[in-house]
Structure 1
Amino acid sequence: MSCIRLSGAALFAALMPFAVASAQAPVAKVVPVVDDYYGTAVTDPYRWMESGEDPDWLPWLKAQGAHAQAVFAGLPQRAALLADVAARSGELTSVGSAELAGGRVFHEIRAAGEQDTKLMVRDVDGRSRVLFDPRTMPGEEEQVLDRWMAAPDGRHVLLQTSLRGTEHSTIRVMDVDAGRLLDVAVPHAQGLSWTGDSRSFSYLKFVGAPGTPAYFVGNEPRLHRLDGNGPDLVLARRGEAGIVATPEQFLLVVFDPSSDTALAIVRDGRSEAAVYRADAGRALTATGAWTPVAGFDDVVVDVALHGDRMYLLSRRDASGGRVLTTSAASPDLATARERPLPGAPVIESMLATPGDLLVRTLEGAASGVWRVPDTGAPVQLALPFDGQVAWLQGDARDGGVLLAMTGWFTPLTVYALDAGSGRLDDLALVPPPPFDTGVYTARRGTATARDGVDVPYTLVMKGDTQPDRTTPVLLEAYGAYGYPASPRFSARMLAFLDRGGVYAVANVRGGGEFGRDWHYAGKAGTKATTWRDAIDVAEALVAAGIGSADTMTLLGTSAGGVMLGGAINERPDLFSGAIANVGFMNPIRYVSEQNYADIEEWGGPISDAQSFRTMYALDPYQHIREGVDYPATLVVSGLNDPRAATFHSAKYAARLAAATTSAEPVLLRIDFDAGHGMGSSRSQLDEVWTDIYAFALWQGGHPEFQPPAQ
């Protein structure tokens, strides 16, 4: 394929009319760069896209965006699908995180008809009120609420706000009684925890330039006092008091209101962390004598405190994890007591309460919650439905516990849990869905991978759908970081199911459905297992007559982009469509983006020939082959994306479009006011998911989504 070489305004003027009027997408210029990695030459034809400063960058993106928009506008039923998606999402009032503090219930909601979330509080008298709405913030730039955390006494709330899509948070503090913001603004920071007296909070300060690889480097754990006496205090430093942490790792300091122990935690892209402890009082004066509790080799993935009890969740020599109990004041892993659970499920997280430990578990796709008393046998609690326990949250002062659940057809619901009796009471923070979800069904199945391992999957569809070889199937897989693909509700997806589509999710290796072993079977040097599991599930569905190579679209989001790219590079004939949604598509170029601290998941950083070979082998962009009939591909990205930089999507789309010989479209859909999806408005999400579902229906052969013949 020939390449045009225009720059700046000339490129934009030449391509914009072409993009709208033509069935062909604008072509990117080629400026090859050759790198030498330990004797291996690697050619990159689109390196110019990485800086964001090339004069052709924005014009080309705008032309691509206009072209994709024109293509979707030409699909006959796209407008009707959008109306249905927007109606479903707009009618629903949804709840996000919630916390108990000071007798109050704080909860984040997006009310029906509104675009963004706001923070509510249910006071002791039972009345609810809006505590913080980012739309009321002064200034011209549109702010969103990223995260928040209530103080233990419930009198203040730490808020994190940012420009939509950027996730470059500024910390603010709300006076709950007065309903007003204090004069606090800490830019480029992430809040971690309140001190036990509710007068100070710890946070992680990012000191590098935003949007660059230096952003997270040298991050500092600091303390802010609400009384404003003195500058913010650095709570721990690398190399001090025995703390071992590289500048690229995150060094966090957290407090627990129920304990006199503070924790310093060193994290990177691994699930496990290194843990240190100090007396909380000494940590507050910057003279904390930090002592080690666990190193990375101990594979500790969670820590919980209450009084002098310290619980550690370790996956060392235990794929599903084991709970260890020791003294918080003088912890010793060598003498820690293990608290085994019957059946050895995967332990996801822990919550310490005044009397017991609550443990959140996973067995395949089934969530569980166990009460583990200090003495006696663990007891599994009865849950209200078959779904995912999204989180547990506790009030350290009075022992109250909140539990949140969601399922394929049940929106996130928050319950008050009586840990002793196991009773769950729906707090009714939001009304139930105004539409019937009982007409849909989920079916579980298992595919046998090429190495004989059983890989679970779930099919979600309308109850009267009888899938066959003509059914549009949207198959999604993720398989990274040990995150499980668990049931989750999506009002928008119902519009896809109503049109006869089947959504399938494959629990491929690299995820956490079956513990650390399942994760490491699809990580770094074994990453090919992840996309091959997805291929094997797709083949099993086709063999069962559920879709076909002419109707199946593969979807990979974020880290799932590696899965997506690997699968269609290896088996382009198996899929009618492919969707790389804010994907991580060019791993060996992590050095050019902000979010590279988790690169260990992929086998890096590249520091020797072996680490290069590992990362190169799983790089989808570098393994696109010339002259291959690739399936139709939709690449989705946001210009503000801080997690998978926009160049991943742009370079991937450009190279795939230049290489494919199938004559199928390669569309680059860009939202210039969005990032990785976090902080996107309801309407932005409606639009992007409408295009994803419309693409799957179009490529799946749905007759109402076929463009008119040219």
Structure 2
Amino acid sequence: MKRATLLSLASILVLAACGDQVATGDGDAREVVAGAAHTQDRLNYPTTRAVEQTDIYQSAAHGEVEVADPYRWLEEDVRVSPEVAAWVTAQNAVTNRYLENLPGRPAIAARLRELWNYERISVPAAREGRYFYAYNDGLQDQSVYMVREGLDGEARVLINPNELSDDGTVALAGTWPSPDGRYAAYMLQDGGSDWRIAQVIDVETGEALEDRIEWIKFSNLSWAKDGSGFFYSRYPQPEAGEEFTSLNMDQAIYFHALGTDQSEDRQIMADPENPEVSWRAGVSDDGDYLFIYSSAGTDGNAIHILDLTRDDAEPVAIFEGFDNNHSPVGNDGETFFFMTDLDAPNQRIVAVDLSDPSTLTDIIPAGDFPISAASHVGGHLIVRTFEDVRSVVRVHTLEGEEVREVELPGLGVASGFDGRPDSPETFYSFTSFNRPGTVYRYDVETGESTLFHEAPLTFDPDDYEVSQVFYESTGGVQVPMYIVHHRDVTPNGQQPTLLFGYGGFNIPMTPAFDVRRLQWMEMGGVFALANIRGGSEYGRDWHDGGRLANKQNVYDDFINAAEHLIELDWTSPANIAIEGRSNGGLLVGAVANQRPDLFAAALPGVGVMDMLRFNQFTAGRFWVSDYGSPQDPDMFDVLYAYSPLHNIPEGEGYPATLVTTADTDDRVVPSHSFKYIAALQAADTGTAPTLIRIETRAGHGAGTPVSMLIEETADKWAFIAFHTGLEVPQAQ
């Protein structure tokens, strides 16, 4: 493979020195020789109005605490407030002028388009001889939904979301073929919002039905056994102007019968006296039962079972309360299999008889590593475990006896393995840092894996080396970290390195392929993934070790990851960039505040930056289970101590920072990033730039068009390459 020609950072850079006139789109840029760096004194940020706003919180340690919030007005919806919209325009003008003049940015974008241009499909869903899956030919903004008649049949397009908008921002947000394969229900999202609209298509004719369901959020769809309709969850319609900011309350489960108006949908479950409780439903594989899930946050749920064969049936409680996590695996008549962390931090699989729901019988006891998923296929249980942050898959009988281990292609992560209890056919995808997702068909009876789809690549996976190290962090805990790089890159103490982390909500960071990281490594950068506490890499204990009062462990783990990379002679503080998104954006903001000396650049994406007001907007109230409530005096002290907005250090060299967010993010509302960057720009943080890139017609990440992702990544890589000393490709 031909390596890109490199342009030295010692080259002359044409830099825009953005004054007030630049922020409004007028005026000419000055040319500056960037022999050292872009500096803050050459950037004139838009003025952000400060207001006299203070709030009183109760602290366990200090009693009443008065906290200023001078940028409260930036919490107004950009679609509603002309002043916020003007501020966004001004900030983007400064940022765009800066990014456009970074060396090698056009070449980075061009190479990203080449690397991104490979076929991708999802794991197929089989329905009565039809196979349904998402497909992208490479650079399509949105993947299309396909159906194939038989394994060797010709595939045809069912739904092409690229035809639904001019800018590619309407995306498929879930697809559910009916049990007989006659219909496919699907959800659409517009502009990256979490709100969904559900519709139905006739698979044979390709014609859309008139059914249209609105105000769906945080829900699946689950078909009735006879295909007459489906169960779903939705919220009441918000007040006009509050669709993207108001708290999500009063969710309920409904059943929609095909061919009827949404106003006729039958309510299945709700709890008006407890509007904070969320509800979700799923039909059992045999179609006879409905699993009803309820929760009040992101950790812990209850499960009830409703017998759909009896009109007079009442839900039977299987797991009550929100102290533990449970999920159904399948059923064999009235015997149900569940995965649960009740009395099992690493999860176990139990059997429950509907006639005696209080008795749990271990089928697969908890082991040394956490069970990450399980399914009931072909009369067997397929169980996935996460062993030192890599997938291991085993097949068991319904009595728990191990039959075999599934032979995976290497070190990586496997997903899929869904199917029917009466069919041995299932599909799975395998991916690793240097290998895109490859899809296999698996026969549970024979144990044979056969290739279903593997895309031709524009790179050689063998050019990249993957290793795993362990380092010590707070409390003597050993934390795993992956280090990935081009085989020509070796430790020299100065390698530009991108360190990524998340650390929250029981979500593991896996050794999966990401073409954006590949491009960073192809340029010569090192990529490191730290599997810090707060996720589920080592079960519930690993999660608990990084949430609530233990949240500082997450930041310590990430800081120690950077220091370990230095100890291994890979890099230095002048060459380390850090990145994280959402809860990971919080991570980046917190550690940049705590150790600004340790990092050269920071990329906090769609981050939770105001830890005192996160629970006042949209889905933020759910996060109290991971963060704690700022209205709790004990947790106020914890949250206030690390909140990125409230702990920006003055008079110290802050990392070059590029905040990214989007105007339609109704998961982590963009005001988090708006207020944080306003505070950064107002503070004395040294000479490095502190910028914000605000995408329009985009949200928290899901459904973002490929073209937008390429442009955003090119901006980020050019930014951190410049500030970590990575030579970048010269435009051809």
Alignment of 1:483 with 2:504, yes or no, is: no
Deviates more, 1:371-380 or 1:574-583: 371-380
Deviates more, 1:523-532 or 1:108-117: 108-117
Deviation at 1:376, TM superposition (A): 5.7
- Tell me the residue number matched to 1:523: 547
**How do residues 147-186 of structure 1 correspond to structure 2 at under 5 angstroms?**
147-186=174-213
Alignment of 1:110 with 2:136, yes or no, is: yes
Deviation at 1:677, TM superposition (A): 1.6
Deviation at 1:527, TM superposition (A): 0.5
- Tell me the residue number matched to 1:303: 328
**How do residues 265-276 of structure 1 correspond to structure 2 at under 5 angstroms?**
265-276=293-304
- Tell me the residue number matched to 2:257: 225
Once the two structures are superposed, residues 430-460 of structure 1 have per-residue CA deviations (whole angstroms, 9 ceiling, x without a partner) of: 5332432221111111111142111110111
Equivalent residue in structure 2 for 1:321, among 347, 355, 362: 347
- Tell me the residue number matched to 2:46: 26
Decide whether aligned partners of structure 1 residues 104 and 214 sit closer, same or farther in structure 2, where only a CA change above 3 A counts.
Answer: same
Deviation at 1:25, TM superposition (A): 2.6
For 1:336, what is the secondary structure of its paired residue?
strand
Deviation at 1:141, TM superposition (A): 9.0
Decide whether aligned partners of structure 1 residues 159 and 522 sit closer, same or farther in structure 2, where only a CA change above 3 A counts.
Answer: same
| Counterpart AA for 2:417 | L
Decide whether aligned partners of structure 1 residues 267 and 392 sit closer, same or farther in structure 2, where only a CA change above 3 A counts.
Answer: farther
- Tell me the residue number matched to 1:264: 292
In structure 2, how many angstroms separate the alpha carbons of the residues matched to 1:176 and 1:140?
27
In structure 1, how many angstroms separate the alpha carbons of the residues matched to 2:54 and 2:697?
33
In structure 1, how many angstroms separate the alpha carbons of the residues matched to 2:537 and 2:519?
28
In structure 1, how many angstroms separate the alpha carbons of the residues matched to 2:438 and 2:158?
20
Deviation at 1:420, TM superposition (A): 2.5
8 Å contact kept, 1:294–1:300: no
In structure 2, how many angstroms separate the alpha carbons of the residues matched to 1:458 and 1:254?
36
Deviates more, 1:437-446 or 1:185-194: 185-194
For 2:260, what is the secondary structure of its paired residue?
coil
Decide whether aligned partners of structure 1 residues 370 and 672 sit closer, same or farther in structure 2, where only a CA change above 3 A counts.
Answer: same
| Counterpart AA for 1:250 | S
Alignment of 1:372 with 2:396, yes or no, is: yes
- Tell me the residue number matched to 2:6: none
Alignment of 1:200 with 2:232, yes or no, is: no
Alignment of 1:99 with 2:146, yes or no, is: no
Equivalent residue in structure 2 for 1:42, among 42, 61, 67: 67
- Tell me the residue number matched to 1:55: 82
In structure 2, how many angstroms separate the alpha carbons of the residues matched to 1:407 and 1:388?
6
- Tell me the residue number matched to 1:242: none
- Tell me the residue number matched to 1:405: 430
8 Å contact kept, 1:553–1:579: yes
For 2:618, what is the secondary structure of its paired residue?
coil
In structure 1, how many angstroms separate the alpha carbons of the residues matched to 2:212 and 2:264?
13
- Tell me the residue number matched to 1:238: 271
In structure 2, how many angstroms separate the alpha carbons of the residues matched to 1:567 and 1:142?
33
Deviation at 1:274, TM superposition (A): 0.4
Decide whether aligned partners of structure 1 residues 19 and 271 sit closer, same or farther in structure 2, where only a CA change above 3 A counts.
Answer: farther
Deviation at 1:616, TM superposition (A): 2.6
8 Å contact kept, 2:474–2:553: no
Deviates more, 1:692-701 or 1:595-604: 595-604
Deviates more, 1:644-653 or 1:617-626: 617-626
Alignment of 1:415 with 2:440, yes or no, is: yes
- Tell me the residue number matched to 1:7: none
Decide whether aligned partners of structure 1 residues 426 and 269 sit closer, same or farther in structure 2, where only a CA change above 3 A counts.
Answer: farther
Equivalent residue in structure 2 for 1:456, among 462, 480, 497: 480
In structure 1, how many angstroms separate the alpha carbons of the residues matched to 2:501 and 2:468?
15
| Counterpart AA for 1:575 | F
8 Å contact kept, 1:260–1:307: no
In structure 2, how many angstroms separate the alpha carbons of the residues matched to 1:318 and 1:291?
23
| Counterpart AA for 1:276 | H
| Counterpart AA for 2:68 | T
Alignment of 1:473 with 2:497, yes or no, is: yes
- Tell me the residue number matched to 1:5: none
| Counterpart AA for 2:698 | A
For 1:633, what is the secondary structure of its paired residue?
strand
In structure 2, how many angstroms separate the alpha carbons of the residues matched to 1:695 and 1:142?
25
**How do residues 316-355 of structure 1 correspond to structure 2 at under 5 angstroms?**
316-327=342-353, 329-340=354-365, 343-355=367-379
**How do residues 678-693 of structure 1 correspond to structure 2 at under 5 angstroms?**
678-693=702-717
| Counterpart AA for 2:270 | R
In structure 2, how many angstroms separate the alpha carbons of the residues matched to 1:365 and 1:642?
31
CA-atom RMSD in angstroms: 2.4
Alignment of 1:504 with 2:534, yes or no, is: no
| Counterpart AA for 1:608 | D
In structure 2, how many angstroms separate the alpha carbons of the residues matched to 1:294 and 1:571?
43
In structure 2, how many angstroms separate the alpha carbons of the residues matched to 1:19 and 1:49?
29
For 1:492, what is the secondary structure of its paired residue?
helix
| Counterpart AA for 2:560 | D
In structure 1, how many angstroms separate the alpha carbons of the residues matched to 2:441 and 2:294?
32
In structure 2, how many angstroms separate the alpha carbons of the residues matched to 1:138 and 1:663?
42
- Tell me the residue number matched to 1:566: 590
In structure 2, how many angstroms separate the alpha carbons of the residues matched to 1:440 and 1:401?
31
Deviation at 1:529, TM superposition (A): 0.5
Decide whether aligned partners of structure 1 residues 142 and 446 sit closer, same or farther in structure 2, where only a CA change above 3 A counts.
Answer: closer
In structure 2, how many angstroms separate the alpha carbons of the residues matched to 1:614 and 1:71?
36
In structure 1, how many angstroms separate the alpha carbons of the residues matched to 2:137 and 2:199?
23
For 1:106, what is the secondary structure of its paired residue?
strand
| Counterpart AA for 1:381 | V
In structure 2, how many angstroms separate the alpha carbons of the residues matched to 1:600 and 1:372?
37
| Counterpart AA for 1:200 | G
In structure 2, how many angstroms separate the alpha carbons of the residues matched to 1:183 and 1:65?
41
In structure 2, how many angstroms separate the alpha carbons of the residues matched to 1:95 and 1:642?
28
Equivalent residue in structure 2 for 1:144, among 165, 168, 171: 171
For 1:310, what is the secondary structure of its paired residue?
strand
Deviation at 1:353, TM superposition (A): 2.3
Q: TM-score when scaled to structure 1?
A: 0.92
- Tell me the residue number matched to 2:8: none
Structure 2: which 5+ residue stretches go unaligned? 1-19, 31-41, 59-63
Once the two structures are superposed, residues 264-301 of structure 1 have per-residue CA deviations (whole angstroms, 9 ceiling, x without a partner) of: 1102433431011121134xx5x541121102356233
| Counterpart AA for 2:282 | V
For 1:79, what is the secondary structure of its paired residue?
helix
Equivalent residue in structure 2 for 1:80, among 107, 112, 128: 107
Alignment of 1:381 with 2:402, yes or no, is: no
Deviation at 1:216, TM superposition (A): 2.5
Deviation at 1:260, TM superposition (A): 2.1
Decide whether aligned partners of structure 1 residues 20 and 368 sit closer, same or farther in structure 2, where only a CA change above 3 A counts.
Answer: farther
Decide whether aligned partners of structure 1 residues 469 and 14 sit closer, same or farther in structure 2, where only a CA change above 3 A counts.
Answer: closer
For 2:653, what is the secondary structure of its paired residue?
coil
Alignment of 1:649 with 2:673, yes or no, is: yes
In structure 1, how many angstroms separate the alpha carbons of the residues matched to 2:630 and 2:179?
43
**How do residues 641-680 of structure 1 correspond to structure 2 at under 5 angstroms?**
641-680=665-704
For 2:573, what is the secondary structure of its paired residue?
coil
Decide whether aligned partners of structure 1 residues 702 and 141 sit closer, same or farther in structure 2, where only a CA change above 3 A counts.
Answer: closer
Determine which structure has greater relative contact order: mean sequence separation of CA pairs < 8 Å that are 6+ residues apart, divided by chain length. Answer: 2
Alignment of 1:553 with 2:580, yes or no, is: no
- Tell me the residue number matched to 2:722: 698
Alignment of 1:66 with 2:98, yes or no, is: no
Deviation at 1:698, TM superposition (A): 1.0
Deviation at 1:19, TM superposition (A): 10
In structure 1, how many angstroms separate the alpha carbons of the residues matched to 2:166 and 2:500?
40
Deviation at 1:179, TM superposition (A): 1.0
In structure 2, how many angstroms separate the alpha carbons of the residues matched to 1:23 and 1:140?
31
Q: TM-score when scaled to structure 2?
A: 0.89
Structure 1: which 5+ residue stretches go unaligned? 1-10, 240-244
Once the two structures are superposed, residues 621-670 of structure 1 have per-residue CA deviations (whole angstroms, 9 ceiling, x without a partner) of: 11223333211111001111121111111111111121233111001011
Deviation at 1:399, TM superposition (A): 4.5
Equivalent residue in structure 2 for 1:493, among 507, 512, 517: 517
